[in-house]
Every structure is written in C-alpha cells, then in structure tokens.
Structure 1
Amino acid sequence: MSLVSTRELLDHAVAQGTAVPALNVIHLESAEAIAAAAERAGHGAVLQISQNCVKYHGALASIAAAARAVARTCGAPLSLHLDHAEDVDLVHQALDLGFSSVMYDGAALPYAQNVATTAQVVRAAGAAGALVEAELGEVGGKDGAHAPGVRTDPDEAGRFVAETGVDALAVAVGSSHAMTSKTASIDTALVAALAEAVPVPLVLHGSSGVPDADITAAIGAGMRKINVSTQLVRAFTGAVRGCLDADPALVDSRAYLGAGRVAMTTEAAAVIALIAGRV
C-alpha cells in the first residue's frame, strides 16, 4: 500500500462515513510503531509531524525523510502531514518536501488575519497539489477549553471555509491537547451542526482525552479525521520507565526504546481500530 495522499484517505473516510486516524510522529521509533499498528489493524493512517516535533529535531527534512521511508515500506496506506504549523515558512518547507497535506494553525490570530493568512497558504498548497487543514476556535490546553465561549461557531465556520478555500477544518467541540485522562466531553450536537454548516471534513484535535464512546459518537455526528498523540506517547514513556526501573544498570538504549515502540504499537493499533470502526 505504501505512501498515499491524505486526500485519498480523507475521501475514503467521507465516502464510508468513517474517520481517518491521524497519529503524531515524535521520532523514528514512533513512526515505526504507527506503521506496525496500521498493518496490525488493517487500516490506513496519517503520519503527522508537528511544529513542536520539528523544533525538537532542529529541522523538518530529516524526520520527514525517516517518516516517508517508513511509510513506503508499510503494508497499510500511510500519508505524511504537517500538523499545527503556526509558522508559514514551515508550511512552505513541507510543501517543498512533498507533504500531501499541511495544517496551518492561525486560530490564535484575529479572525480577519486568520482568514487572510490561511487563504495565502491554500493558494500555495493548491499549486503544490496539497490539502490544507486549518483551525477555527480554541483547541488549547486543558484550562478553559471546555468553556462554551471558546468553541467553534457553525455560522462562522461556514464563512471561514468559504473565504479561505480550506480542504479540512479543525474545530473546538470540547477536547483539549495533552490530556492524560479520558475525561473530556464532546458536544456531539455541535459536531452535527458544524458538519451541516461546513462543506469540508471536520477534524478533532486533542482526542487522547476523549472517551472511546465519545470518539465513536463524534464520528457518527460528522468528524472525519481524529488526531491522537498524548495517549500514544504516554504508552511509549510508560514502557521505557518500566524497562529502566526493572534494570537500573541497563545502558543499551535499544532495549528501552524497543520496549516503548512495542507498547506504542499496541496502543496505536487499538486507536486505529476504534477510529476505523473495527472494534
């Protein structure tokens, strides 16, 4: 199956009334874990590289090359996506490197500036044949993200898509980034209203903190891309910690990184199966 475009994965999800699992790459081991999980679950996924991940590695090109190499040898379809880029220059780097989709996140900007900059990104990505995801509303950290005032307004969302030409829209419906417990509550009525108002696929960020039943309900209400990161990293880190605790004299990093990769593969396979509706 190998490397495919995010548009292919999204089009299939829209046609089937399901969602695309979009899982974040942190390092090579996590890319390998996601690929192995996709093969195990028998379903495609998006390999996401965030702006924070790029900062960690010091550049986009190296981690992108690693993720692409992993995707090309995977038995399940995988695409390469730039996640949560607030830096327009980084978006252009991803397009130059052949990413099939990019997320420009101008949600913190005033509405008019978000529209103007996002529209510029859409034009550049269109010339490169890439899909653009944008964000409207506040899918921030845990504090305040559950307050109704920061959630995405359907009328404004419909106007934003018309004014920018984006291909997918991340919306704020009750989830938060970096949650380590599944205690978020998704407003499925709002999801349904947004799906009615917006003619492009909706994206749920911060899904690690969302209970499985709420993820399934959100997909049923119209979510078509589900982003997961913290849940997978937590499994990876827990296994590394357990490995080192069990053997304080251990010095071979392959042993504990390998344990982390195995744990992340198991967690990611369950996440992909849930989002794909195969549980």
Structure 2
Amino acid sequence: MNLKDKLKLFTQKKRGLLATNCYNMETLHGVLKAASDLNEPLILQLTQSSIEYMGLETAVSLCRSGLKQYGVEGWLHLDHGGSIQLIQSCLDAGFDSVMIDASELPFKENIRITSEAVKIAEHYGAHVEAELGFVAKLGQTHINKGFTQPEEAKIFTEATGIDSLAIAIGTAHGFYKEEPHLDLELLSNIAALTPATLVLHGGSGVPSRQLQAAISRGICKVNLATEIKNIFMSSLKKTLSLNEEIDLRKEFPVATEQVTSLVKEKLIAVKNQPD
C-alpha cells in the first residue's frame, strides 16, 4: 500500500503512524527492530543534515535494504526539506514522500513554494507534506508564535493540493522544559475543515495520553526524532565510561537496543486509544 492510502486508512481508524528519524545504521536498525518485533508499519525519515552526513545514495540504500532485512512495511520520507532542489534530488533518488517546509515564510510564499513541490511530486506519484504555523525548531523559543488556524489550513490545503499538513498546536522540536499541553480543541477544528492528513511534529517528550488524545481528534502521522538521538548517545556515553573497549561492534549494539525499546513504546502509544 502506498503512503497516501495508508495515512488515509489510519486516519479513518483513528490510529497513528509513527515516523522516526534515523541518523546512521545503528539508529536505523534500532527503529526497524522495534517495528519488526511488533509487526507495525513505520515511516523512515531523513533530514538534509542526515543526507549530507551519510550521502544521499548511501542513506537511501541503507533504508531500503533495512526495510527488506527486517520485513517491515515502511516508506522513506524527506523531513523538513528546505528547497525545491532538495525535493527534486530526493524524488529522483526514490523517496516515497517529501516535506517542503516553507512555514517561516509569509503565507502566500508558503503556498507558492509548496504548490511547486506538489507539481513536481505528481510526476513520481509521491506523497507531499507541508507545514503551516509555528512549530519551534531546535534553538528557537517554544513560546507560541502562531498556532495553525483552521480557516488558513483549509485555504492552504485547497490552494496547494498537499497530502499531509504539519500543524502547530503546542509542540516543539527538541526537549521540553515542562510538559507540553496540546490544544486539542484547535486540532478538532482544523480536522473538521481540511481533508489533508494531519501531522504532529515534535513528538519527543509528549506524554502517551496526549499523543493518543491527538490521534483520536485527527492526528495520524507522529514524528519522533530527538528522543532517538538522545537515548542512543546517552546510552553510548554511559557504556563507554565504564570500560576501555575500542570495538564499536561491541559497544554500539547496547545503544541500539535502547532505541528499539524506546520506539516500541512509541509504536504502542500511537496504536492504542486512550481509555
């Protein structure tokens, strides 16, 4: 099943589809082991920085071979694509889905750039995600600078033809200094006006009960990145501090196992509904 149809199906069922970023072979295998053990589908996400780190062809090959190796139903997605050029390169490389992020530009300019990405993706049969509203990125203040407004979401979706829309309802990328509180009423109003699949960025650190409540009100795709990096590096640092082992093949698997445990918890959370 292609990603567009999967997201539509899961939205109808009021269950989430987890989208996890991966940064190297170890984090990739960690998330895929979790999905394989639970027999759950998964979206693998790569950012521009991860693509630059691994190389586009290498990154795509790793993800594709990993999905096959672990027997996971999954899709490859560009997360926060900042240019049409990157969108084109990823589509040429075989990505199933791309995100064009012009959310920090004026509304009309966001529509223009997003519409261009949609037209390009049509030739590949690819899924397109965009963002509307302010979801703080790493290094930016978490203070609300503009939640997504329902009427604007409707206009934006109709004008661009996007498949999925990342919305701002109270999350942020990176760590939270205190528990976030999602505006669920706003989410319901957005869901009522736009046919696009709704996406929650900044899923790291959001309690399971809030994730489940958001999914029950229209969120389908849930992004997870920061917690994966954090648990891998924290575990690795701890392990290395306890010995003088230099064989990475012995040390990395411990951190990879922690990624698997984390992602299993998240997969269960986005699948289940609140009591």
Partner amino acid, structure 1, of 2:267? I
1:118–1:134 Cα contact (<8 Å) kept: yes
2:11 equivalent to 1:9: no
Take 2:120 and 2:147, find their aligned partners in 1: how far apart are those partners? 28
Paired residue total? 273
Shift of 1:278: 7.7
Determine what percentage of the aligned residue pairs are the same residue. 29
Q: Which runs of 4+ in 1 moved over 3 A?
A: 141-146
Partner amino acid, structure 2, of 1:172? A
Partner amino acid, structure 1, of 2:132? L
Partner amino acid, structure 1, of 2:106? P
Take 1:178 and 1:55, find their aligned partners in 2: how far apart are those partners? 20
1:182–1:211 Cα contact (<8 Å) kept: no
Shift of 1:66: 0.6
In structure 2, the CA distance between the partners of 1:118 and 1:211, relative to structure 1 (3 Å rule), is same
Question: Which range is displaced more, 63-72 or 137-146?
Answer: 137-146
- Equivalence for 2:123: 127
Partner amino acid, structure 2, of 1:204? L
2:213–2:273 Cα contact (<8 Å) kept: no
3-state SS of paired residue (1:176): coil
2:157 equivalent to 1:161: yes
Question: Which range is displaced more, 10-19 or 99-108?
Answer: 10-19
Shift of 1:182: 6.5
Question: Which range is displaced more, 48-57 or 6-15?
Answer: 6-15
In structure 2, the CA distance between the partners of 1:146 and 1:276, relative to structure 1 (3 Å rule), is farther
2:23 equivalent to 1:26: yes
Question: Which range is displaced more, 25-34 or 172-181?
Answer: 172-181
2:200–2:222 Cα contact (<8 Å) kept: yes
Take 1:30 and 1:16, find their aligned partners in 2: how far apart are those partners? 29
Which whole-Å deviations, capped at 9, do the CAs of 1:162-194 have from their partners, x for residues lacking one? 100000000000000011666111111111111
- Aligned CA RMSD, in angstroms, stands at 1.7
1:47–1:80 Cα contact (<8 Å) kept: yes
2:137–2:174 Cα contact (<8 Å) kept: yes
TM-score by length of 2: 0.94
Take 1:270 and 1:111, find their aligned partners in 2: how far apart are those partners? 37
2:265 equivalent to 1:270: yes
- Equivalence for 2:80: 84
Which whole-Å deviations, capped at 9, do the CAs of 1:116-139 have from their partners, x for residues lacking one? 111010011011100100000111
Shift of 1:246: 1.3
- Equivalence for 2:92: 96
Question: Which range is displaced more, 159-168 or 61-70?
Answer: 61-70
Question: Which range is displaced more, 73-82 or 222-231?
Answer: 73-82
- Equivalence for 1:35: 32
2:157–2:194 Cα contact (<8 Å) kept: yes
3-state SS of paired residue (1:29): helix
3-state SS of paired residue (2:59): helix
Partner amino acid, structure 1, of 2:30? A
Take 2:261 and 2:42, find their aligned partners in 1: how far apart are those partners? 15
2:202 equivalent to 1:209: no
In structure 2, the CA distance between the partners of 1:35 and 1:226, relative to structure 1 (3 Å rule), is same
- Equivalence for 1:106: 102
Partner amino acid, structure 1, of 2:228? L
Take 1:238 and 1:180, find their aligned partners in 2: how far apart are those partners? 17
1:106–1:135 Cα contact (<8 Å) kept: yes
Structure 1 runs not aligned, ≥5 long: none
1:50–1:82 Cα contact (<8 Å) kept: yes
In structure 2, the CA distance between the partners of 1:239 and 1:144, relative to structure 1 (3 Å rule), is closer
- Equivalence for 1:170: 166
